[in-house]
Structure 1
Amino acid sequence: MSPHTSARARRGGLHILFAASLWGTTGTVRTFADGSSAFSVAAVRVIVGGLVLFALAAASRRGAGLRRLFRDRRNAPLVGVGAVTIAAYQTAFFVSAGRAGVAVATIVTIGSAPAFTGAVGLVTRRAAPGGRWALATTGAVAGCALLVGGGRDAGTDPAGIALALLSGLSYAVYATVASVLITRGEDDRAVTGALFGAAAVPLVPILLTQPAGWVATVPGALIALYLGVVTTGGGYLLFARGLRTTPATTATTLTLAEPAVAAVLGIALLDERLGPVALGGLGLLAVSLVVLVAPVRRRNAAERAQAGNELV
């Protein structure tokens, strides 16, 4: 790997880490939206963020990236799948946070995403996860099982954990779709704008059926703008920028910065507490993720070319 390529890869990783740190604030911020529901918060976040991202894509080079994206008929199904998984990821996460707590929901969602992304890559033949991935996945699943078993102590329930796992799976599919489109040569702003713009459409009727009066208050409007413009618009633009030089499997691993931020905020600001069994589960999950992200020996160019989009 040349110094220039290595520097680009590092910048891509930093973009993703910064995006993950922004996302880590969403669960805590959502708790201050008085009178809101998880569904209305998820809908507002995606609708506002989708409008911002689509407008930016349309304004960039007069929408040339969007026109190119939709001229290729192979892209339409991917945009559809990506949009559905965005809506599912956001909604399942906020509902899970209400049932399981911000820290646990975020850790399970993002903690399971690398394993799900590896599985998606294996099924779609974009990656060939190795033994370390299998070991880390086994540990992460066991950690989640301990979280379920310690549900009473942790203030969680199996349904909350299941929704967090659904959110993690949906996020993994979204990340893979975005990676496929961007590495195919599509503009990252166009990809992000198209995916979130399409995801906003089915959430409009959902928002109309939910209590949305909180948005009309000054604090509610500020929360909506922060969630939509900063954490969604800014965060996912950074994530897409990082995907230019970072494989989806590695990118989802780097987003493990999100649960660290969420856990600190949940414990510091929301007085969340975890029981001993749940703490053991979280500890096992954390160790598994360290195994997943620890540096490994760099392979030569021929080995890397053969491995393709493998997590390194």
Structure 2
Amino acid sequence: MAHVLAVLAAAVLFGTTGTSQALGPEGTTPLAVGAVRLAIGGTGLAILAFALAHRHRVRAERTGAAAPTSFRALSGRGSRLRPFVLMVVTGVCLVVYQPLFFIGTERNGVAIGTVIALGSAPIMAGILEWLLTRRAPSGAWMVATALATVGVALLGFGGEASSSGHGGTDLAGLLGSLGAAASFAVIANAQRRLLDEGWDPFTVVGAMGASSAVISFLVLPFVDLSWLATPAGLAMGLWLGIATISTAYVLFTWGLSGLTAATAATLTLGEPLTASILGITVLDERLSVLAILGLVVLAAGLALLAWGSRAPRDPRPFALEG
């Protein structure tokens, strides 16, 4: 039960990302908010995750169990370079994800932007894995992909309801959300490859946090951070960093260690659900009838994807974009 609650809590925290940014002070930009979020959150995540990874190694040594893969255990320059590159790639993609995700929520609203990004992400991850491994996906995955595609298309045409009752989705925002989903697809596949090779999950997620933090600190001097000096700006930065990155990823990674793929996939649906509820109730976003239909169709596709993940050959979900 504790693992279920951990993943569910992480999904809820991830789901507050768009609303937190929307409630922040004026004068922010998607790039600045994303850089601050990862500079704070990535650093905290690296500290917490690497500490837990070290604890796992020590416990394995004491009990005589098989220790997780580490750089010290690898021999040869090539064997060390490849996993290092994959871990850095996850950090780069997490950095790229931030402004794209915030562009989507800024232009199309939190409910629409978040659902498009999160609904498209597992589909893109499955397509990328299919291209990389040449492994034919299941029939359930194909049907889920078709449903999710239709749902995203309906959201694209529907968008947020205007005063006249007609909706419409901003193209730049739509591309931003889809770009964020593509970034997650790369993260999920890179992390899956590392886990298959025996790497400790906390080492993998900690490396993602560390590399993303380093890149973000390099970006900070080139963005306007005046909003960070305000109480609202500081609160937003700390929440996005500590709560939605450091705490959420640690909870999610620990929770996955005790859950099946099907259970984890279902629980992660709490992220778009949280974002949609907050967008409608807190931000007073109004959705057109077409957009609501798109949400229903997309939810059906994601639910089918979660159900289909019970198959042993389906990829186990590991990372959330949030």
- TM class by smaller structure: 0.7 to 0.9
My pick for the range that moved more, 148-157 or 159-168, is 148-157
1:31 matches 2:11 = no
One-letter amino acid of the structure 1 residue matched with residue 104 of structure 2: S
1:76 matches 2:84 = yes
Gaps of 5+ in 1: 1-9
1:113 matches 2:126 = no
- CA shift, 1:223, in A, is 1.7
Residue aligning to 2:283: 270
From 237, 245, 252, the counterpart of 2:250: 237
From 11, 22, 44, the counterpart of 1:52: 44
- CA shift, 1:98, in A, is 0.5
Contact 2:16 2:278 (C-alpha < 8 Å) held by counterparts: yes
Residue aligning to 1:4: none
From 304, 308, 313, the counterpart of 1:291: 304
Residue aligning to 2:112: 104
Contact 1:101 1:156 (C-alpha < 8 Å) held by counterparts: no
Once residues 55 and 90 of structure 1 are traced to their aligned partners in structure 2, the CA distance between those partners, rounded to angstroms, is 21
Deviations 1:217-268 (A, max 9, x none): 2222222111111110011112222444568797556422111001111111
What SS class does the counterpart of residue 274 from structure 1 fall into?
A: coil
Residues 57 and 308 of structure 1: CA distance in aligned 2, closer, same or farther (over 3 Å): closer
Once residues 197 and 2 of structure 2 are traced to their aligned partners in structure 1, the CA distance between those partners, rounded to angstroms, is 20
Once residues 308 and 278 of structure 1 are traced to their aligned partners in structure 2, the CA distance between those partners, rounded to angstroms, is 30
My pick for the range that moved more, 182-191 or 159-168, is 182-191
Once residues 17 and 54 of structure 1 are traced to their aligned partners in structure 2, the CA distance between those partners, rounded to angstroms, is 22
Gaps of 5+ in 2: 59-67, 75-79, 161-165, 318-322
- CA shift, 1:154, in A, is 3.8
TM-score in terms of structure 2 length: 0.80
What SS class does the counterpart of residue 33 from structure 1 fall into?
A: coil
Once residues 203 and 250 of structure 2 are traced to their aligned partners in structure 1, the CA distance between those partners, rounded to angstroms, is 10
One-letter amino acid of the structure 2 residue matched with residue 51 of structure 1: T
From 135, 142, 147, the counterpart of 2:150: 142
- CA shift, 1:150, in A, is 2.5
What SS class does the counterpart of residue 124 from structure 1 fall into?
A: helix
Once residues 217 and 247 of structure 2 are traced to their aligned partners in structure 1, the CA distance between those partners, rounded to angstroms, is 21
Contact 1:54 1:194 (C-alpha < 8 Å) held by counterparts: yes
Residues 263 and 58 of structure 1: CA distance in aligned 2, closer, same or farther (over 3 Å): closer
Contact 1:45 1:224 (C-alpha < 8 Å) held by counterparts: yes
Once residues 309 and 289 of structure 1 are traced to their aligned partners in structure 2, the CA distance between those partners, rounded to angstroms, is 14
Once residues 34 and 48 of structure 2 are traced to their aligned partners in structure 1, the CA distance between those partners, rounded to angstroms, is 21
Deviations 1:133-172 (A, max 9, x none): 1111111111211222224744531221121111112112
1:19 matches 2:10 = yes
My pick for the range that moved more, 157-166 or 245-254, is 245-254
Once residues 249 and 44 of structure 1 are traced to their aligned partners in structure 2, the CA distance between those partners, rounded to angstroms, is 34
- CA shift, 1:291, in A, is 2.5
TM-score in terms of structure 1 length: 0.83
The alignment's C-alpha RMSD in Å is 3.0
